[in-house]
C-alpha cells in the first residue's frame, strides 16, 4: 500500500533535513536558506525547486508544503500547467527527436511527483484540466519507455478508485443540520412510549464513546489538506479571490457535526420530565466524555462538555444538585481554555506521542478539538504575511502550516478499530434536537424561571413554540 499522506517525521523542529545545505544564510538560485533551512524565495524559484531533473528530486516535506501553500498564490491547475511547461522546456520534450537516455532518467522522477500529488491531494484531480496536464506529460515521455503509460494508467485507476470511494462516503454521510429540528413537535405528537432517547439506544458509556469515534474518524477522512488553506484563502496577488472555487464543505460539515453533538447532549438532558432522570442523563454523558478522553477523542469530549455548559442546561440547579460532579470538574479542567488551552494541549501531546509509538489502531487514535485547530491555523495565517517586503514568499510560515496540517493528516488516516453499531450511529446522525429556543423552553418547563427576564422569555416561548399563553 503506498504512503499517501504526509508524516510528521518528515519535518524536524525547524524545517527540512539539516544535511542538505550548509548551516549559514545563503541565496541559492533565488532560494534563501538560513542555518540550512529554506526560509523564503520567489514564487518562481519555489516552483523550480519542485520540478525534478535527471539528478534531482525534491524532498517529500517540500512537495507537501509547497503543494499545500501554493494555492494561496495560484490554482492547482495553473501550477501543474506551469510545472509541465517548465519540464517540457528543460528536458526538451517538444523536440522531434528525444534524448532517450536522458528521458529514461527523468521519467521515473516526474511520474513519482505526479503520483505523490494524486495521492496526497486527490480532490485537485476532480478538475479535468489537471487530468489533461497529467496525460499530456506522460504522452511526451512515453515514446522513450512504454512502461510509463502502464505506470500512469495504474496511477489513474488508483486515483479514480480513491475519488469514487470519497464520493461514495460523501453520499452516504448523513447531512446533519445542527440545532434546527424541533423535538418539541415530536414530543407533542408521539406518546412517551415510542419516544427514543440516547439511554434507550445505548446505556453503556464506553460503547457510545466508541460510536462517536466512528463518526469523528469517518468525517475526518473526507477532509482534504487543502481545505485548511482554502478556508482562509485571500489571494495576495493581482488576481481576484476565487471565492466560488473554495471547496471547504467537508471541513464545514465537520464543524456542523460538532455543533449537532452539543445540541444533542443538551436536548437529551433537557428532555426528561423528572429531575432524577435528567441527573442520570448528565452522569451518563459525563462518563461518555471520560471514555472519549481515554480513547483520544478530544472533539467529542469538548462537544459533550460544551453541551452541558449551554445556558439551558447549566441553569438546571436542582438537577445538577443530584449529580456527582467530581468527574465532570476533572474533565472541565482538562479542557479549560486558560493559558490558551494549556491542559488540553498537554493531553494532546501525550496522545500524539502514544500514537507515534502505538502497536495497535486503538492506541493510534488522536482526534483533536477541531475548532481550536482551525483557530490555530487561522491565527498563523493572519499573524504572518504570505510575502515578505522584498516580494519573496514567506516559506517559514508555510513550513509551520504544513507541520500542523501534516500532523492532522496522519491522525485522520487511522482506521477505527471499534465495531460499528448501526442503530447507535443512525441515532447520532438523525435524532431530532431542540433548537436553542426549544432548549430554553424545555429547561423552563423542567425548572421554573428564577427572575423576571426568564419569566418573560418563558411566556414568549410558550406562545411561539406551543401556541399557549
Please provide the average confidence, as pLDDT, over all residues in the chain. Answer: 87
CA dihedral 286, 282, 373, 364 (to 10 degrees): 30
State residue 225's pLDDT score.
95
In percent, the amount of the chain with pLDDT more than 70 equals: 85
The CATH class of 175-366+414-466 is mainly alpha
Q: Is residue 235 within 8 Å of 255, Cβ to Cβ?
A: no
pTM over 0.85: yes
Mean pLDDT of 202-217: 97
> Tell me: the pLDDT tens digits for 397-408?
999 999 999 999
Work out the burial of residue 444: count CB atoms within 10 Å of its CB; fewer than 13 is exposed, 13-18 middle, 19 or more buried: buried
Across the range 62-70, mean pLDDT stands at 97
Residue 378: pLDDT above 70? yes
Range 355-378 average pLDDT: 95
pLDDT band at 21 (very low <50, low <70, confident <90, very high): very low
Same CATH topology for 8-169 and 175-366+414-466: the answer is no
Mean pLDDT within 187-209: 77
Residue 237 pLDDT grade (very low, low, confident, very high; cuts 50, 70, 90) = very low
* Main-chain dihedrals φ then ψ at residue 139, nearest 5 degrees: -60, -35
* Span 219-231, average pLDDT: 92
pLDDT(314) > 70: yes
Side by side, the strands of the sheet bearing 393-394 are 26-28, 31-34, 37-41, 393-394
Q: Is the pLDDT of residue 184 over 70?
A: no
Res 182: pLDDT: 56
Q: Mean pLDDT across the stretch 351-379?
A: 95
Whether residue 5 is predicted with pLDDT greater than 70 in this model: the reply is no
Burial 415-428 (b: 16+ CB within 10 A, else e): ebbbeebeebbebb
Tell me which of 3.40.91, 1.20.870, 1.10.3130, 3.30.390 is the CATH number of domain 8-169.
1.20.870
pLDDT band of 181, cuts 50, 70, 90:
low
Average the pLDDT over 180-200 and give the result: 62
Q: Which of the two residues, 241 and 83, has the higher pLDDT score?
A: 83
Q: What is the DSSP string of 22-89?
A: -SS-EEETTEEEETTEEEEE-HHHHHHHHS-BTTB---HHHHHHHHHHGGGTS-HHHHHHHHHHHHHH
- Domain map (residue ranges) of the chain: 8-169, 175-366+414-466
For 266-310, the pLDDT digits (tens) are 999 999 999 999 999 999 999 999 999 999 999 999 999 999 999
Enter the C-alpha cell of residue 62.
517540500
Amino acid at each position: 500500500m503506498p504512503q499517501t499522506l504526509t508524516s510528521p517525521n518528515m519535518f524536524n523542529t525547524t524545517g527540512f533535513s539539516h544535511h542538505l545545505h550548509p548551516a549559514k544564510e545563503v541565496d541559492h538560485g533565488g532560494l534563501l536558506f538560513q542555518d540550512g533551512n529554506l526560509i523564503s524565495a520567489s514564487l518562481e524559484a519555489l516552483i523550480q525547486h519542485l520540478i525534478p531533473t535527471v539528478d534531482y528530486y525534491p524532498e517529500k516535506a517540500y512537495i507537501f508544503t509547497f503543494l499545500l501553500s501554493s494555492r494561496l498564490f495560484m490554482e492547482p491547475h495553473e501550477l501543474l500547467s506551469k510545472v509541465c511547461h517548465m519540464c517540457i522546456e528543460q528536458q526538451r520534450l517538444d523536440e522531434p527527436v528525444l534524448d532517450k537516455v536522458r528521458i529514461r532518467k527523468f521519467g521515473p522522477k516526474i511520474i513519482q511527483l505526479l503520483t505523490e500529488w494524486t495521492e496526497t491531494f486527490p480532490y485537485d484531480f476532480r478538475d479535468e484540466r489537471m487530468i489533461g496536464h497529467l496525460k499530456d506529460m506522460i504522452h511526451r515521455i512515453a515514446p522513450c519507455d512504454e512502461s510509463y503509460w502502464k505506470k500512469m494508467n495504474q496511477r489513474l485507476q488508483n486515483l479514480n478508485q480513491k475519488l469514487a470511494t470519497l464520493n461514495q462516503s460523501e453520499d452516504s454521510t448523513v447531512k446533519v443540520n445542527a440545532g434546527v429540528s424541533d423535538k418539541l413537535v415530536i414530543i407533542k405528537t408521539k406518546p412517551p412510549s415510542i419516544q427514543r432517547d440516547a439511554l434507550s439506544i445505548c446505556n453503556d458509556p464506553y460503547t457510545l464513546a466508541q460510536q462517536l469515534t466512528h463518526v469523528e474518524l469517518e468525517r475526518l477522512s473526507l477532509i482534504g489538506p487543502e481545505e485548511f488553506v482554502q478556508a482562509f484563502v485571500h489571494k495576495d496577488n493581482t488576481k481576484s479571490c476565487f471565492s466560488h472555487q473554495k471547496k471547504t464543505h467537508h471541513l464545514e460539515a465537520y464543524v456542523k457535526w460538532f455543533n449537532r453533538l452539543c445540541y444533542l447532549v443538551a436536548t437529551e438532558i433537557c428532555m426528561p420530565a423528572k429531575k432524577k432522570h435528567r441527573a442520570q442523563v448528565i452522569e451518563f454523558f459525563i462518563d461518555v466524555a471520560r471514555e472519549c478522553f481515554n480513547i483520544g477523542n478530544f472533539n467529542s469530549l469538548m462537544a459533550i462538555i460544551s453541551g452541558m455548559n449551554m445556558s439551558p442546561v447549566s441553569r438546571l440547579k436542582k438537577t445538577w444538585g443530584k449529580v456527582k460532579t467530581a468527574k465532570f470538574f476533572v474533565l472541565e479542567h482538562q479542557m479549560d481554555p486558560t493559558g490558551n488551552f494549556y491542559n488540553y494541549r498537554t493531553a494532546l501531546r501525550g496522545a500524539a506521542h502514544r500514537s507515534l509509538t502505538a502497536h495497535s489502531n486503538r492506541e493510534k487514535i488522536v482526534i483533536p478539538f477541531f475548532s481550536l485547530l482551525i483557530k490555530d491555523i487561522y491565527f498563523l495565517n493572519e499573524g504572518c504575511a504570505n510575502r515578505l517586503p522584498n516580494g519573496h514568499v514567506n516559506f517559514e510560515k508555510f513550513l509551520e502550516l504544513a507541520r500542523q496540517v501534516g500532523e492532522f493528516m496522519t491522525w485522520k488516516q487511522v482506521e477505527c478499530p471499534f465495531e460499528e453499531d448501526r442503530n447507535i450511529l443512525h441515532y447520532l446522525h438523525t435524532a431530532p434536537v431542540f433548537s436553542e429556543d426549544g432548549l430554553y423552553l424545555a429547561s423552563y418547563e423542567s425548572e421554573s424561571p428564577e427572575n423576571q427576564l426568564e419569566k418573560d422569555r418563558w411566556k414568549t416561548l410558550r406562545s411561539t413554540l406551543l401556541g399557549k399563553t
